[in-house]
Structure 1
Amino acid sequence: MSLFILLVVGDEEERLGLRRALSEEGWKVLPAGTGRHARQISEEREFDVAVVDTRLPDERGFQVISAVEGPGVTTVALLRDEDTMDRIVGIELGADHYMRYPVNARELVARIKQIFRKRDSSPDGHSAGQIYVGDLEIDPDRVRVVKNGEEVSLSPREFRLLHTLAQSPGRVFGRGSLLRQVWGEDEYIEERTVNVYIQRLRTKLGDDSQNPRLIETVRGFGYRLVKPEE
């Protein structure tokens, strides 16, 4: 498994330790000690994973996550304290996974391996065949979404959520079901996460959040992707 990893950690000793462990797996590590440096790297290089400390010398790590996320990039936020607001803000800015400090380097390696084993084996991310729902075209093999002929840029998690809904248009998915299918077993994720990601999807797909016509809220149950004939 050949990966490029953006590693953004302010403390030099911690950064070196994590870089060493990741490099031992044969992965290419792009290290940065500040948000500014991370943004510079993201403009010049492509990568598969962004591991970002939430407390950097020059800015909050979640701002960096928001800046570097994109199609094909999985983000892992390293939380510095027990403040749940950090996690909530991170969800809203697009963090996919969370780990608490002190971060064990081997645990980080295991988490990244687990993420990509699930991604490569999950039918929610890589099943064959394009899906057409109204003016949406969803290509799971290329991880690509097109709406009205224009490509829509989604994060990996947003794509998996949309793809899950699109596989059964009209079906109502409960929040718990979506959490299991899209997030799996993540101790830091709760049901309100689904609400946040649905809102992100609506915004990117041009679906009016006040009167959604594409992704409907079924009160008391969950969400569904509306069939074109509806």
Structure 2
Amino acid sequence: MTNERILIVEDDQDIRELTTLYLGKKGYEVFPADNGFDAINIVKRESPHLILLDIVLPGMKGFEICEKVRELTQAPILFISSKRDSVDKIKGLEVGGDDYITKPFDFAELEARVRANLRRSLISSDQKEKKKLSYGHLTIDLESYEIKVNDQPIRLYAKELQLLLLLVNNPNQVFSAEQLYDQIWGIDSYGELKTVLVHISKLRRKIEVNPSRPKLIKTVRGFGYKFSPPE
């Protein structure tokens, strides 16, 4: 049994109640909300470990809620939507989401995604053995998880940070997009390649001096990506 706290933000009463009931029986403490205002208050009050967030909601939409929630927590956010358009999936990742599941969904698949994202939401203890990593203009504090570029703090979302740490802890090792997805997200999903590409692109924009000519996160054409420490 588990005791992680999950917030579900869904205006469809049947889906909200059935999902709350199902996850509750699996041992999760579930907090339901049907609008953005209540969702943000629950995040402030309960500090959930994971958030299930519908995109189409009355008033404040899911993408806007995600951006506001990201100012409060780095807990994984799984978008729920009836749309299967990859544009929405990419938009969800860009505003700070971690995963995406479409309606109607199978509860067993939903729980698998919940477990995978919870498992990967915490940086492994072996990555904390060093206090700080420094790569030229890039500094990573492994106690506070503060990332600095040229001594200026930058903001990384949870999956961006996990991806960066995986790469820097395995310098010069080439990872395929599929391997990165498996390591960070942990389950098969439609559009997984785009998920990796979006996060690599966002990381480069944040940590590279010249994102169009990356020196840290390099593409190995035909194989994948690697972190190349400055000489």
Give the distance between the partners of 1:175 and 1:112, measured in 2 at CA.
21
Which stretches in structure 1 are left out of the alignment for 5+ residues?
none
**1:133 Cα deviation after fit:** 3.5
- Tell me the number of residue pairs that the alignment of Structure 1 and Structure 2 aligns: 224
**1:150 Cα deviation after fit:** 5.9
Q: Which residue matches 1:27?
A: 28
Q: Given the superposition, is the C-alpha separation of residues 174 and 110 from structure 1 closer, same or farther in structure 2, using an over 3 Å criterion?
A: closer
Give the distance between the partners of 1:106 and 1:182, measured in 2 at CA.
20
Which stretches in structure 2 are left out of the alignment for 5+ residues?
none
Q: Which residue matches 2:196?
A: 194
- Asked if residue 127 in structure 1 is aligned to residue 126 in structure 2, the reply is yes
**1:40 Cα deviation after fit:** 3.5
Q: Which residue matches 2:67?
A: 66
Between 93-102 and 148-157, report the one with greater CA deviation.
148-157
> What SS does structure 2 have at the residue aligned with 1:173?
coil
**1:161 Cα deviation after fit:** 0.6
Give the distance between the partners of 1:52 and 1:85, measured in 2 at CA.
17
Give the distance between the partners of 2:163 and 2:119, measured in 1 at CA.
18
Q: CA RMSD in A?
A: 2.9
TM-score, normalised to structure 1, is 0.79
Query: Where does 1:76-87 land on structure 2 (aligned, <5 Å)?
Result: 76-87=78-89
Aligned with 1:228 (options 201, 221, 230):
230
**1:172 Cα deviation after fit:** 3.7
Query: Where does 1:171-210 land on structure 2 (aligned, <5 Å)?
Result: 171-205=173-207, 207-210=209-212
Give the distance between the partners of 1:225 and 1:84, measured in 2 at CA.
28
Q: Which residue matches 2:140?
A: 137
**1:167 Cα deviation after fit:** 1.2
Between 125-134 and 145-154, report the one with greater CA deviation.
145-154
Q: Which residue matches 1:88?
A: 90
Percent identical residues: 31
**1:162 Cα deviation after fit:** 0.3
Give the distance between the partners of 1:9 and 1:39, measured in 2 at CA.
13
Give the distance between the partners of 1:127 and 1:46, measured in 2 at CA.
25
**1:33 Cα deviation after fit:** 0.7
**1:9 Cα deviation after fit:** 0.1
Q: Which residue matches 1:164?
A: 166
Aligned with 1:111 (options 100, 108, 113):
113
**1:74 Cα deviation after fit:** 0.9
Q: Given the superposition, is the C-alpha separation of residues 176 and 22 from structure 1 closer, same or farther in structure 2, using an over 3 Å criterion?
A: closer
Q: Look up the equivalent residue of 1:189 and give its one-letter code.
A: G
Between 155-164 and 102-111, report the one with greater CA deviation.
102-111
Q: Given the superposition, is the C-alpha separation of residues 87 and 41 from structure 1 closer, same or farther in structure 2, using an over 3 Å criterion?
A: same
Give the distance between the partners of 1:180 and 1:18, measured in 2 at CA.
26
* Preserved contact between residue 24 and residue 30 of structure 2 (Cα < 8 Å): yes
Q: Look up the equivalent residue of 2:126 and give its one-letter code.
A: S
**1:7 Cα deviation after fit:** 0.9
Q: Which residue matches 1:97?
A: 99
* Preserved contact between residue 76 and residue 121 of structure 2 (Cα < 8 Å): no
**1:164 Cα deviation after fit:** 1.2
Q: Look up the equivalent residue of 1:74 and give its one-letter code.
A: P
**1:110 Cα deviation after fit:** 4.0
**1:12 Cα deviation after fit:** 2.0
TM-score, normalised to structure 2, is 0.79
Give the distance between the partners of 2:78 and 2:67, measured in 1 at CA.
12
